[in-house]
Amino acid sequence: MIPKDATASALELAREVLEIEADAVRALIARLDQRFLEAVSLILACRGRVIVSGIGKSGHIARKIASTLSSTGTPAYFVHPAEASHGDLGMIQRDDVFIGISHSGESDELLLILPLVRRQGAKLIVMTGNAQSALAREADVVLDAGVSQEACPLNLAPTASTTAALALGDALAVALLKARDFSAADFARSHPGGALGRRLLVHVSDLMRSGGDVPKVGVDARLGDAIAEITRAGLGMTAVVDGSGRVCGIFTDGDLRRALGRHSDLGATGVAACMTRAPRTIRPEALAAEAVKIMDDHRISQLLVVNAQGELVGALNMHDLFRAKVL
């Protein structure tokens, strides 16, 4: 059990850490200048790959930046500078862009391989907190990731500086994404697994009920027919369509409960008098994630699927989305 005074101290320190790191990222905004645009242009013109490298904590940041670049349309990979001097340097070619990350700008491992990177003909971007450093002097473009202080109380452990470098790398990746017109569909192709893949790759047509599984009655049907169709399909609703198959409305369990309070003779009542007109619909080519948003926004659990002419082609409910793990 943490003593009460120690708990208060820990919370105070944690808040101070977050403030220092937030200030470090915020300070980058005013320092973004032509050099950032030059880095973007250099990478856009790259005919090879982007290689990101760093040692220690900067190495961890370099790995994440390389991963973010790759997943947003800029092919990139991480090279460990120590391994580069033992053979991995062969991965770097003339048409590549090399991004070296070092807060001090004096990392021996990076300085050792820079002349060889230059000899290969690759372009060099350095992300550093010291624009006068040895690494910066070798660079084609220097990105200023300096911070006024680390969040560590000793001002030693890389904390604010690694956060600033990570944020600057994200800014670079997103700027490149925009410049390449990288779309959600492009993103989905590089994220086929997991929740992201399911949300971005699955379409309504992949999940919807179709054919005889879609409950529907004609606009002239009686309530008894509509209730029987709801029971048959088990979706808690039925579509109401005209003679051409275009959707006129939807009749749900909720509409039935409301009808019970308004109509004494359900057998003689037409479904058109009780249905919900102009229901929410979705197209089959829409993403399943769009169906989720419509259902959430309008607090409904079913959607009718229609084509461009408004004709009923399918039905979808929340359970279909749960089974597909889109939710």
Question: What pLDDT, in 10s, does the model give residues 246-305?
Answer: 999 999 988 888 888 776 676 678 899 899 999 999 999 998 888 888 998 999 989 999
Say yes or no: do domains 4-182 and 204-323 share a fold.
Answer: no
- For residue 82, CA distances in Å to 67, 72, 130, 136, 163 come to 20, 27, 22, 19, 23
Q: Which CATH fold topology does 4-182 show?
A: Rossmann fold (3.40.50)
Q: What's the average model confidence in pLDDT over 59-63?
A: 97
Considering the four listed CATH numbers 3.10.580.10, 3.40.50.720, 3.40.50.2000, 3.40.50.150, the one that applies to the domain covering 204-323 is 3.10.580.10
User: What does residue 314 show for φ and ψ, rounded to 5 degrees?
Assistant: -175, 180
Cα separation values, 56 from 34, 40, 59, 102, Å: 29, 26, 5, 9
Query: CA-based angle 41:145:32, to the nearest 5?
Result: 50
The mean-pLDDT minimum among 234-238, 243-247, 286-290, 314-318 falls in: 286-290
Q: Name the pLDDT band for 55 (thresholds 50, 70, 90).
A: very high
Q: Between 198 and 209, name the one with better pLDDT.
A: 209
Its pTM stands at 0.66
- Partners of 302 in the beta sheet? 317
The full set of domain ranges for the chain reads 4-182, 204-323
- Can you read off the two tokens belonging to residue 322? 């749960």
Find out whether 122 and 98 touch, Cβ atoms under 8 Å.
yes
Which residue in this structure is represented by tokens 């109380």?
A: 153
